Amino acid sequence: MPPRSRACSSARPRPHRVAVFTVCVVTLPPALPCATWHDSWWRLQADAGRPCPWQSLCNERMGWRVKRPKTRGARDLAAGTIGQAIVHLKRTTSTNDVAADLARRGAAEGTLVIADEQTAGRGRRGHAWLAPPRRSLLCSLILRPMLPAARLPRLTMLAALACARAIQGLGLPATIKWPNDILINGRKVGGILAEADFAGDRLNHVVVGIGINVNVEQADLTAISPQATSLAIEAGRRLSRWHLLRLLLAEFAVRYESMLQDEGQAVYKEWAQCLDTLGRDVTVTGHFGALCGRAESVDADGGLFIRRNSGELVRVTFEDVG
């Protein structure tokens, strides 16, 4: 077990700011390890004697101070249950890892984890997700949907669609590249990573991770990925991460409610219309190696149909390239 940080020592720690408004935002110091702040967070829950009392985060005995946030954009983010509780970290390894740990400990559906910086962010197939501090929207959402396992790929569709619509709300022409990339003018600006946790056949939770390059400069992108772009580059001005997050949560919430009613049929149809992939020559890489051909169509579970040069029609799923 790692040594306890000063925040968990017997001495009274320096108060950290907790903002309580429409949602609860927890801001923690960058040096605090995930294991330590998790322990502190759950001790706060135990103090309150309730399984998930978000208000108990404001506990003076544990060194927390209630203070209204100075950042105007951080207010009124919640859209129904989506974003009803927000954990804001200055620095962490991966928001998906933090959200998964909170979900295993009983955090409510709709809990959102946001980080200003990730040290071990990841994308599909374990690829590293690199982003300069405070320049990107890096967040993970905890969901507990009543959906059959076969319909879970539609959560990736939903997240990608919500991202695209939120960016379009900023006046930028966002589209989706199958399976989980967000594009502007053919260049990648964001991505989705959905990870599910099962107990046998029963779904415990899904963590949907989202990363969007907001104010990343061209010099940083050139070092990370020359094919990538950012919202600021495309818009020609800096943009607010908080405003983007507010748009994203609103777009996500309305479609998530619809998904729970029709198992994602409406989301699938809208997602398919937003795809940039269909009708293009593509190369898809997965456990089968590289598959080249023309992308013809997608089915309701997200499967992509590719027509090879030989004329053979091949179906590739999210799991094939995950």
Residues 99 and 241 in one domain: yes
Q: Is residue 6 included in any domain, yes or no?
A: no
Name the residue among 205, 239, 216, 206 with its Cα closest to residue 129.
216
Residues 260 and 188 in one domain: yes
Residues 286 and 315 in one domain: yes
Residues 92 and 133 in one domain: yes
Residues 174 and 201 in one domain: yes
Residues 134 and 240 in one domain: yes
Write the secondary structure of the chain as one string of H (helix), E (strand) and C (coil): CCCCCHHHCCCCCCCEEEEECCCEEEEECCCCCHHHHHHHHHHHHHHHCCCCCHHHHCCHHHCEEECCCCCHHHCCCCECCECCCEEEECCECCHHHHHHHHHHCCCCCCCEEEECCECCCECHHHCECCCCCCCEEEEEEEECCCCCHHHCHHHHHHHHHHHHHHHHCCCCCEEEECCCEEEECCEEEEEEEEEEEEECCEEEEEEEEEEEECCCCHHHHHHHCCCECCHHHHHCCCCCHHHHHHHHHHHHHHHHHHHHHHCCHHHHHHHHHHECCCCCEEEEEECCEEEEEEEEEECCCCCEEEECCCCCEEEECHHHHC
Residues 163 and 265 in one domain: yes
Structure tokens at 203: 């779904």
With beta carbons less than 8 A apart as the criterion, state whether 138 and 114 touch. Answer: yes
Name the residue among 108, 164, 188 with its Cα closest to residue 141.
108
What CATH number corresponds to the domain at position 236?
A: 3.30.930.10
Q: Is residue 10 included in any domain, yes or no?
A: no
Beta bridge partners of residue 294, listed in sequence order: 281, 307
Q: What is the pLDDT of residue 74?
A: 53
Amino acid at 230: S
Domain count, the chain: 2
Residues 211 and 307 in one domain: no
Residues 231 and 103 in one domain: yes
**Reported pTM:** 0.79
**Domain interval for residue 314:** 281-321
Residues 137 and 222 in one domain: yes
Please give the chain's pLDDT, 322 residues, in tens.
Answer: 444 443 333 344 443 333 333 344 444 433 333 333 433 343 333 333 333 333 333 333 333 333 334 455 555 787 889 998 999 999 999 999 999 999 999 999 999 999 999 998 776 666 677 789 999 999 999 999 998 888 999 999 999 999 999 999 999 999 999 999 999 999 999 999 999 999 888 999 999 999 999 999 999 998 778 889 999 999 999 999 999 999 999 999 999 999 999 999 999 999 999 999 999 999 999 888 899 999 999 999 999 999 999 999 999 999 898 6
Residues 110 and 147 in one domain: yes
Q: Is residue 267 included in any domain, yes or no?
A: yes
Residues 300 and 207 in one domain: no
Q: Is residue 35 included in any domain, yes or no?
A: no
Q: What is the pLDDT of residue 56?
A: 34
Helix axes 241-262, 153-168, angle to 10 degrees: 140
